[in-house]
Amino acid sequence: MTSQSQALQFAHSYLEILEGLGASDDALSPFIEALRSVDETPGDNATHTLDHPLMPLLEGVLAKAEGPQVLTSSVAALASEGGFFQVYEGEGINATQADYMVGKHILGPKGRLFNEKLRAGIFFLAANFEYPMHNHAGLEIYYVLSGTLDVQNGVDAEPRRIGPGEYSVTPSNVPHALTIGNEPVVILYTWVGDLVSPIYWWVEEEDGSWTKTIAKELAPTSSPDTNK
């Protein structure tokens, strides 16, 4: 099966799951609508090998993934191709995060299948790791395949624990943080809405106020290269 075929299988299986969950949760409607727009338009074919401390652990963690076999097998196949990226680079807070998370685009402007309505892919995070408070304009869902984590949506909110087959939706621009359990976590992430505005760190000051600093600029969406 080609890479694009695996990505399409991933999209269809993931859509089926969210449609089932969406029968009782209207918050999933934007993600369902975006996934229904995915077609066979080819996108990025990146297959580079990422030199990162998490990568040797990925295959074993994916072997523990729970969910429909068609979904877990397509995720494993796409992961085995390579093409992962380091989520944060640079100094300051970014430097403290670099060794603890990696990602891979499957659907979207840089995905195996090109789409301008969403960004979706694999998010792999280290065990016993705290991904600090941050926000972005895109509406986001985390759907867990392996491991457990606590998701805090809002600076004053109580964290909520989710595990395999469970999900958390973060509204646009709401600051949120993740605390990973005793095992690494594999999440399917999806953004819809604003896909190009920056990600910001939220830093709590001594007086209890919060300040924002840019964590990562996101490249604008563009049409796929039809010559690929």
The architecture of the domain spanning 3-216 is Sandwich (2.60)
From first to last of its 228 residues, what are the pLDDT tens digits of the chain? 899 999 999 999 999 999 999 999 999 999 999 999 999 999 988 899 999 999 999 999 999 999 999 999 999 999 999 999 999 999 999 999 999 999 999 999 999 999 999 999 999 999 999 999 999 999 999 999 999 999 999 999 999 999 999 999 999 999 999 999 999 999 999 999 999 999 999 999 999 999 999 999 997 766 665 443
Q: What share of the chain is helix, strand, coil (3-state, %, to 5)?
A: 25, 30, 45
10 Å CB burial of residue 163 (0-12, 13-18, 19+) is middle
Buried b / exposed e over 118-129, threshold 16 CB at 10 Å, is: bbbbbbbbbeeb
Domains of the chain, residue spans = 3-216
